[in-house]
Amino acid sequence: MLLSLGCETMREGVVATILFFVTGILLVLAGANIMPALWHLNHIVVFVGFLLLLLAPIILVSTFLLTVLPDKKLKKKMDECDH
């Protein structure tokens, strides 16, 4: 099921958010300071970095919303997690 959420899925969502955020910051900094302006490559790298920065909170918020949805099966599954 696409929206099945468990303990490991929550952890994976948080790790993916951190990775997207850090990678986005690094790409924005690299595009602004390191990349040459050849074929507008610096703008492309900065754009991809901003997309990753935009996706990071979207992943985190969607993971959070899936955990607070009222579902009895999901609540039982989440109560068994080691936090």
What is the residue type of 49?
Answer: G
**Domain extents in the chain:** 23-70
47-75 pLDDT, tens digit per residue, is 999 999 999 999 999 888 877 776 676 66
Confidence of residue 1 (pLDDT cuts 50, 70, 90): very low
Spatial distance between the Cα atoms of 21 and 55, rounded to a whole number of angstroms = 8
Residue 81 per-residue DSSP state: -
- pTM of the shown model: 0.77
Spatial distance between the Cα atoms of 51 and 48, rounded to a whole number of angstroms = 5
